[in-house]
Structure 1
Amino acid sequence: MSEHKHGEQDIAAQEQAFEGFMKWSTRVAVASIVVLVFLAIFRT
């Protein structure tokens, strides 16, 4: 069994996945806020 050496693993795929998740989460949050503001303004 090989020894673990901190900082040597390639994490490019994980970084891409996390960046995509953050973009998606930000867009969903902004869209939710826009919908809530729209409903608050045009509520009957």
Structure 2
Amino acid sequence: MAEHKHGSMDITQHQKTFEGFMRYVVRTSIAIIVVLLFLALFGA
């Protein structure tokens, strides 16, 4: 079994993926809030 050294793994791709995911979640959440506000104000 291979030896594991804590903190030695390259996680740059994981970080980029997580950043992209969080950006998507924030933008989608803002879009949903805007749509809900529009519907609340103009009563569709």
Please report the TM-score for the alignment, with normalisation by the length of structure 1. 0.94
Q: Any stretches of 5+ residues in structure 1 without a counterpart?
A: none
The CA deviation at 1:2 is 1.9
Q: Which residue is equivalent to 1:4?
A: 4
The CA deviation at 1:39 is 0.2
Q: Any stretches of 5+ residues in structure 2 without a counterpart?
A: none
Runs of 4+ aligned structure 1 residues displaced above 2 Å come to none
What is the distance in 2 between the residues matched to 1:3 and 1:10?
A: 16
Note the alpha carbon deviations across 1:3-44, whole angstroms, 9 max, x for none: 010000000000000000000000000000000000000005
1:35 and 2:40 aligned:
no
Aligned residues: 44
Please report the TM-score for the alignment, with normalisation by the length of structure 2. 0.94
Letter matched to residue 19 of structure 1: E
Q: Which residue is equivalent to 1:13?
A: 13
SS of residue in 1 equivalent to 2:43: coil
